[in-house]
């Protein structure tokens, strides 16, 4: 009974936080709601017996990724009002994609049913401690059955990292930027200027 109550609490807060991540007007608030969603997802993993995944979710995503998102959003100083001007142009395509996703979710929910042995099936996914540890079991499944999806996720994160670097180093008017190549190519006559100052005139 307690497990079921905790599950519904974690799930409700997780869904609410995920919705607020999308609909929050302030990007900083979106990142904070994302952190809350990560914590509740970690709670769900604990209920499933995957303590290692829960700790990784908190340590890696909350401690590093979400904080990085927060600092990047605050550092870039993006004009979100300017970005929202073109939303109406892409609204029909966005609504079409959203309708397709909702139709897929409805099809999955319509064909899904709760069986009597669902609790036994979930529990059996975690092997007994005497056979293999939780971390070892996750590693075997992740690097055997889901190795392709794992590599695809790594590529997506790599593309996101490159995109963040490109956005940070983009040329902006009124912002001084270091040009290392120009500094290396600099000659002596470009570094200083010799000025002959007459007595009493100053510089």
pLDDT in tens, 84-130: 666 677 778 878 888 887 887 777 666 655 555 555 555 555 555 55
Tokens of 84: 């929202």
Q: What is the Cα–Cα distance from 48 to 7, expressed in whole angstroms?
A: 10
Of 119, 155, 146, give the one whose Cα is nearest residue 7: 119
Q: What is the Cα–Cα distance from 188 to 101, expressed in whole angstroms?
A: 63
9-18, 35-44, 62-71, 151-160: least confidently modelled range: 62-71
Cβ distance 171 to 177 under 8 Å? yes
Q: Can you list the domains of the chain with their CATH numbers? A: 1-77 (1.20.120.1200), 131-169 (no CATH)
Q: What is the Cα–Cα distance from 141 to 126, expressed in whole angstroms?
A: 11
Q: What is the Cα–Cα distance from 23 to 89, expressed in whole angstroms?
A: 19
Condensed to tens digits (0 to 9), the pLDDT of residues 156-191 reads: 989 988 987 887 776 667 767 777 888 888 887 777
């Amino acid at each position: 009974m307690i497990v079921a109550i905790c599950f519904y609490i974690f799930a409700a807060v997780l869904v609410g936080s995920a919705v607020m991540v999308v609909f929050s007007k302030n990007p900083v608030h979106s990142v904070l709601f994302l952190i809350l969603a990560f914590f509740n997802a970690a709670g769900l993993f604990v209920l499933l017996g995957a303590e290692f995944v829960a700790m990784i979710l908190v340590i890696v995503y909350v401690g590093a990724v979400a904080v990085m998102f927060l600092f990047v959003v605050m550092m870039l100083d993006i004009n979100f009002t300017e970005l929202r001007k073109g939303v109406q142009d892409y609204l029909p395509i966005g609504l079409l994609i959203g309708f397709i996703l909702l139709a897929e979710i409805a099809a999955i929910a319509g064909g899904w049913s709760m069986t009597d042995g669902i609790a036994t099936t979930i529990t059996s996914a975690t092997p007994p401690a005497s056979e293999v540890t939780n971390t070892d079991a996750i590693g075997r499944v992740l690097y055997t059955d889901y190795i392709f999806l794992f590599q695809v996720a790594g590529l997506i994160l790599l593309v996101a990292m490159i995109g963040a670097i490109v956005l940070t180093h983009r040329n902006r008017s009124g912002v001084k930027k270091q040009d290392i190549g120009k500094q290396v190519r600099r000659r002596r006559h470009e570094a200083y200027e010799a000025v002959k100052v007459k007595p009493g005139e100053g510089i």
